Amino acid sequence: MLQAIGLTSTPRRDAPPLVDDLTLEVLPGSVTALLGEPGSGKTTALRLMLELERGRGVTYFRGRPLHRIPHPGREVGVLLGDVPGNPARTVRNQLRMLCAAAGVPASRADTMLEVVGIAGLRDQRLGSLSLGMERRVALAAALLADPCTLLLDEPAAGLSPRESGWLYGLLRGHASLGGAVLFTTADAKEAARHADRVVSVEAGRLVADQDAAEFARTRLRPRVAVRTPHAARLADVLGREARAAQRAVEIVKESGSRLSVYGSSCAEVGEAAFKHGVLVHRLADETGDTGAPTPPVPHARAAAETASGAASGAACGEASDTASGAGSGDASWGGTARRARSRRPASAVRRVGGPVRPLRYELHRVFGTATAVLTAALVAVVSVLTALVLARAGHTPQNRLLAAWPELLPLPPAALGAGLLGALAFGEEYRYPALAADRGTVPRRLGLLTAKLGVCAALALLLGALVVVADAAALALVFDSGPLRTPAQWLSPAASWAGLLIGCAWAGVLASGVFRSATAGLAAVVAVPVLVVPLVRKVLEGSSAYPVTGLGPRLRSLAWVQWPPEADRLVLGALRVMAQPVGTALVLSLMVLLCAYGFTGLRSRVRW
């Protein structure tokens, strides 16, 4: 059940708000249409319900606002926009990533592909799908966690009549099992045909809230529907008689054998056909509709899932995961038959945003496309070429030679690649939002941030190791190990190299989370050596009056766990890196970005 009370968007300058004091109710087991012309505030109303827009009012989903629901994706399924995800990701990878976000088994993705009838397209990329297939993927994502409520914005826009009929049949099937469905449309006939109730809005304000039959009778244009094998002859007859009687009659040819007559009645059309000997197969009064409502799509039945499938059934708000659809024998619609009587107290709930399984979600996001592999390959090629050029020119220290880091470049290619992978961590989230209902809370979850930082750090280390190995192999192959010597100390340079790569990756993650753009995240990484390092260098110029010799043993004496004396070199190496301008600038930048992320990403974006 959905109850929206007093929804009002933020007022615009010199213009009324897009949504003004809108109140409506969607009952379980019913389909409701939000009808209005383009620009009437339908989409804004949905975004206010999902707390994606600033404004006033409150929306209750079975007695709780969205921010009070532990797992919003399990309560509300959403279809907003046309593109369901990154065009380079396959259909199956997209749904498996969303399974991790919703906390349902990965096998649920294959089940939902069967439900929406595109199991054969599981390996197709999202960018290669037609609009109808995209809409099926979006519906599969909305139904993935078996939500109780569906919110859909213009779901049939641009679809063929066949695809539109299938879509509304699926929505009718969801409602027949106790779910609540709300969709927006600008077509009054579509609303009357497929909805149980029609809520009409104009300029953001409620105009009418009617039963579909009453809406069709009072708001749609009445007509007479005629089916005859002599449609052209009957149209000519009706036109001549209307002109003779000086009546305003409009005759529309719907198809080869069907006519729609406006401004007349069944009696008048029937008498005219009988008088002129025109055979009529069908004659009926209609109120703006052109066909019978689409029957529900048969529900796809599947074998009962294991105990892990209990999470999908819990989407309807049962108190225990064991009351899920896993034992109902209907994996696709588990638990929906109990929705009408399922009620959970609104108290004692905690706010949880973002994916339920953040690490699994992040791994699916990273490796669901070829971006990480292509970035690593490009960085390796550029690094090898740069290292060969530096070795050919000579006078380059071995550490910089293996890192392919010329003095003229602010950062080595590996650091830029690590920063790019980090910047994509949040930049892709905002460009291709995966969780529409959770979009406002995805960047707020500390668990998701930790997963992103951990995965990006691991990728950065792997990238750094790949670059060093590739550069060393290329130098040994071309110059017969001439430029390379066995280092006397390798631990400290390795720690410095790892710290640089991880720092760049984390800077990209935090900056893209703050500025909500992958480009801004990469720009923040480049800004560290270009802008921040010169300022730090000026601060650190000159000798220190208080040297830090002997710091390692003092730190070892203060630690709870005594590390071996050999580890002092690693500690001093890390401190030496931080004392360098690049290291200091990177640490300062990370601290600033972390504070900025905490202020912008962890605070509530919506005030009521």
> What is the CATH number for 273?
3.30.70
- Alpha-carbon gap, residue 80 to 150, rounded angstroms: 11
User: Of the candidates 300, 333, 348, which is a domain's last residue?
Assistant: 300
CA distance linking residue 108 with residue 115, whole number of Å: 10
Q: Is 562 helix (H, G, I), strand (E, B) or coil?
A: coil
Determine, yes or no, domain membership for 587: yes
DSSP 531: I
Query: Which residue range(s) make up the domain with 250?
Result: 221-287
Give yes or no: residues 262 and 369 share one domain: no
446 and 580 fall within a common domain: yes
What's the rounded Cα separation, in Å, for the pair 400 and 55? Answer: 54
Q: What is the pLDDT of residue 70?
A: 80
The residue assigned the tokens 């004091």 is 21
CA atoms within 13 A on the CB side of 559: 14
The per-residue pLDDT for 413 is 94
Gyration radius of the chain over CA positions = 32
- Do the domain assignments include residue 353? no
For the chain, how many structural domains are there in total?
A: 3
Long-range pairs for 277-283: beta carbons < 8 A, 24 or more residues apart: 278/228, 278/230, 278/233, 278/234, 278/237, 279/228, 279/229, 279/230, 280/226, 280/227, 280/228, 280/234, 281/227, 281/228, 281/229, 281/257, 282/225, 282/226, 282/227, 282/228, 283/224, 283/225, 283/226, 283/227
Q: Say yes or no: 195 and 229 in one domain.
A: no
Q: DSSP readout, 49-65?
A: HTT-S-EEEEEEETTB-
Residue 389, domain member (yes or no): yes
Residues 274, 419 within the same domain? no
CA dist 161 and 165 (Å) reads 6
Say how far apart CA 499 and CA 495 lie, in whole Å.
6
CA-based nearest residue to 193, from 31, 29, 38, 2? 31
CA–CA dist 147, 171 (Å, integer): 12
Residue 209 and residue 232 in one domain: no
Q: Give the domain-ending residue among 262, 278, 300.
A: 300
Considering the domain architecture, whether residues 499 and 550 belong to the same structural domain is answered as: yes
188 and 279 in a single domain? The answer is no
Helix pair angle (518-527, 491-515), 10° resolution: 140
Q: Does some domain include residue 86?
A: no
For residue 472, being part of any structural domain is answered with yes
All residue ranges of the chain with pLDDT < 70 are: 82-84, 287-354, 434-445, 481-483, 486-488, 533, 535-585, 588, 601-608
Can you read off the two tokens belonging to residue 201?
């809005």
pLDDT at res. 82: 65
Residue burial 38-48, b: 16+ Cβ < 10 Å; e: rest: eebbbbbbbbb
Q: Phi/psi zone of residue 63: left (φ > 0), alpha (ψ -120 to 50 degrees), beta?
A: left
Residue 33 contacts residue 197 (beta carbons within 8 Å): yes
Same domain, 596 and 449: yes
pLDDT at position 111, please? Answer: 93
Judgement on whether residues 539 and 477 belong to the same structural domain of the protein: yes
**pLDDT, position 549:** 54
My answer on whether 367 and 237 are in the same domain is no
68: in domain? no
pLDDT at 308: 33
In a domain, 21, yes or no: yes
Considering the domain architecture, whether residues 17 and 53 belong to the same structural domain is answered as yes
Q: Is residue 41 part of a domain?
A: yes
Distance CA 58, CA 606 (A): 11
User: Pick from 264, 287, 310: which residue ends a domain?
Assistant: 287
Supply the pLDDT for residue 442.
46
CA triplet 461, 374, 355: central angle to 5 degrees?
70
Residues 152 and 243 in one domain: no
Tell me the CATH number at 6. Answer: 3.40.50.300
Check residue 196 and give its pLDDT: 94
Is residue 98 classed as helix, strand or coil in its secondary structure?
helix
Cα–Cα distance for residue pair 335/343, rounded to 1 Å: 13
